[in-house]
Amino acid sequence: MTDIEGIGGVFVFSNDPGTLADWYADHLGIEFEFRLESGTSGRTYLAHDPHGKGVVYPTVFSIMEARVELPALESDAAPPSPYGDARVMINLRTRDLDGVLERLAARGVTPIGREDNEYGRFTWVYDGDGNRLELWEPPAEMPPV
């Protein structure tokens, strides 16, 4: 048994959290439920109790103001592999990867890679601050892990 049962939140730090939150809203349709004067924005997703007790837990995706000036990230080149060369990558699940890609293309965002396998369809892009995102459309039925 593990002591960790899920993700309570993902926190992205930015020098300009309002602009980055706008990027997520404009490019991926993530409407943040709250925006605080501190610059923090957040959206809550719900996850079911892994033990099946009917409890629903929140998972918060939040963009917060960095307390120190963060260096700019390079976001133009496609990496040799989407895995293993960045400190963090956020995986965002969708039911319509093609629709998300059309929305991104209309806003000038070009994917840096693509892979389809038994676990679904995957594409990688950079957000407005240069953070790598993995966009994932799961298959209709997940294979056993």
- Tell me if 1 sits within 8 A of 120, measured CB to CB: no
Q: Which of 16, 45, 21 is nearest to 35 (CA)?
A: 21
pLDDT on residue 1 = 47
- Tell me if 70 sits within 8 A of 14, measured CB to CB: yes
pLDDT on residue 58 = 84
**Where does the pLDDT of residue 51 fall: very low under 50, low under 70, confident under 90, or very high at 90 and above?**
low
pLDDT digits (tens, 9 = 90+) for 56-104: 788 889 999 998 988 887 666 777 777 777 778 899 999 899 999 999 9
pLDDT digits (tens, 9 = 90+) for 105-130: 999 999 999 999 999 999 999 999 99
Helices 97-106 and 17-28: crossing angle in degrees, nearest 10, is 120
**Where does the pLDDT of residue 141 fall: very low under 50, low under 70, confident under 90, or very high at 90 and above?**
confident
- Tell me if 134 sits within 8 A of 89, measured CB to CB: yes
pLDDT digits (tens, 9 = 90+) for 26-49: 999 998 998 888 889 999 988 777
Task: Supply φ then ψ for residue 99, to 5 degrees.
Answer: -65, -40
pLDDT digits (tens, 9 = 90+) for 3-33: 666 788 899 999 999 999 999 999 999 989 9
- Tell me if 41 sits within 8 A of 113, measured CB to CB: no
Domains of the chain: 8-65 (3.30.720), 83-145 (3.10.180.10)
CA angle 123, 126, 132 (to 5 degrees): 75
